[in-house]
Amino acid sequence: MKILLYGVSHQTTPIEIRERYTIKEDDVPKQLTEIKAFNGVSEVVILTTCNRTEYYLYIDQTEFMHGDMLRYIGEYTGYDVSDVISTSYGKSNSDVATHIFKVATGLDSLMVGETQILSQVKFALKNAQEVATAGPILSSLFNKAVSFSKRVHTHTKIDQLSFNPSTAAVELLKLEWENLKEKRILLLGAGKMIRLAAKSLLENGAQHITVVSRNSLKAEAFAHDMNEWVQTNYHPEKLKRYVYSAEYENLPMALAGADGVIVATKASEYIVTTESIIKMQAIRSGSVKELCLIDLAVPRNVDPDLNLVKGIRIFDMDQIAVQIDHFKEEREKIIKGILADIDEAVIKFNRWYKERRAVPYIYQIRKDTMAIREKTIDSLAKKLPDLDAREMKLIDKHMQSVVNQLIKTPIQSMKEFARMNPSKDMNDALELFVRSIGLKQSEEQTEVPIEDLQLLEKEGDL
């Protein structure tokens, strides 16, 4: 068995390639189910964000064919298999573990140290669990990465020295103008990233914000919520509107009145097009006023060819990170410590992963001893009918304690032998040991039910 990763990210591919790999949220369950049906695939998790698309697989090497996965990705992206190979990366086992720990912590993010990725990693696992494609291996890997990330962000200042894409967009506008108070900002979209951007704008003094969404009711509700939020948190003594909504059909008019635009929608096509800019320029009637467009969407929502239009400046996700990095030196010191902790965490995961070979035997010895215990308790109940429920419970508790002590050493030995890789010149130590204590051989073992795995974890066996 092996853990594999296929993916693309901002680290390896430019945005024009990444956007072809992007998976719509509604398509993720379908892809999870289809990939799970491939020969040799036991588990699948898909992590898709604005800066990465990654497929995590747990596979049987004797059955799984890499070509199946490469062709599948090629069909989705429209690339030939050779193009998929040249534009994506692959990792296995320990390298996958190291990678997801870095990803969940934000060390592999475009905005290093940002925390938004943590919720995306959790969401990826939740998606896979809901369609039953995430099993014990990938669930454990992702949960360990999430727990590690939470500890890092609790015990270091990494998130205080970082931006997420939304706050980075606002920082970029601040670099452009210094003071946002008199500037008019247009927000295209009404999702989480735009909400974060709106709050950051308001926190930094912006007072003229317009939100446009294809869903006009959503835009109106968004503006209302933001006005309530800023009044409650910053201006409880006065009633003032800072955020307005506009109709999507009037986008050229909204663009004409803006100094800066932040765009982040789930649309797979361009929202700001040559046509909308031509209409905007007509409304402006020859005004030389510049327009700064920040595109946080992947696939992009702003036609990149508009960079050639005089007075139009566009920043996409790849360009924002280059512009914004105030805390690089201080952050690098913290990152060194985090990387050392990741190495230690991966060692622990690898140890746990190798010990999984012993799980069927641990399950069997626990199951056999539980059966003996139950049989003994039943026998006592029949031979000593005067024992009351409290006394029987006390006897059962002590008997369980005896059983736990008796099987503790064999279980520990199984784990140690499981961590030893069998060589050509040496028989599998785990197989020899379990045979010596009368347990079944591995080929006779079946997959341990998830509820029994949970019981083993509760007992401290895993």
- At 97, which helix (H) or strand (E)? helix 94-105
The answer on whether 114 is annotated among ligand-binding residues is yes
442 is in an annotated binding site: no
Closest CA to 180 of 295, 296, 260, 236: 260
The verdict on whether 292 is a catalytic residue reads: no
The annotation status of 192 as a binding-site residue, yes or no, is yes
Residues 6+ apart with CB under 8 A from 88: 6, 7, 8, 12, 13, 21, 73
Integer angstrom CA distances of residue 385 from 150, 203, 381: 53, 74, 6
- 436: tokens are 């010596």
Q: Which member of 50, 264, 334, 414 is catalytic? A: 50
**Is-contact 161 327, C-beta < 8 A?**
yes
49 is in an annotated binding site: yes
Neighbours of 388 (CB within 10 A): 8
Neighbouring C-beta atoms of residue 239, cutoff 10 Å: 8
Tokens of 125: 């696992």
* Other C-beta atoms lying within 10 Å of the C-beta of residue 238: 7
| Pick from 193, 196, 164: nearest CA to 321 | 164
Does 191 appear as a known binding residue? yes
Cα angle for residues 272, 278, 279 (degrees, 5° grid): 90
Question: Can you say whether residue 77 is alpha, beta or left, with left for phi > 0 and alpha for psi between -120 and 50 degrees?
Answer: alpha
DSSP secondary structure string for all residues of 272-307: B-HHHHHHHHHHHTT----EEEEE--SS-SB-GGGG
- To the question of whether residue 189 is assigned a binding role by annotation, the answer is yes
How many whole angstroms separate alpha carbon 404 and alpha carbon 429? 23
Residue 116 assigned to a binding site:
yes
User: Residue 369 contacts by C-beta under 8 Å, 6 or more apart in sequence?
Assistant: 403, 406, 407
H/E element holding 199?
helix 192-203
User: CA distances (Å), 430 to each of 344, 358, 365, 439, in order?
Assistant: 25, 8, 14, 11
Examine residue 299 and say whether the peptide bond preceding it is cis (omega within 30 degrees of 0). Answer: yes
460 is in an annotated binding site: no
- Say if residue 193 carries a ligand binding annotation: yes
Catalytic residue ranges: 50
Q: Which residues are annotated as a binding site for NADP(+)?
A: 189-194
Which residues are part of a known binding site?
49-52, 109, 114-116, 120, 189-194
Annotated binding site for substrate: 49-52, 109, 114-116, 120
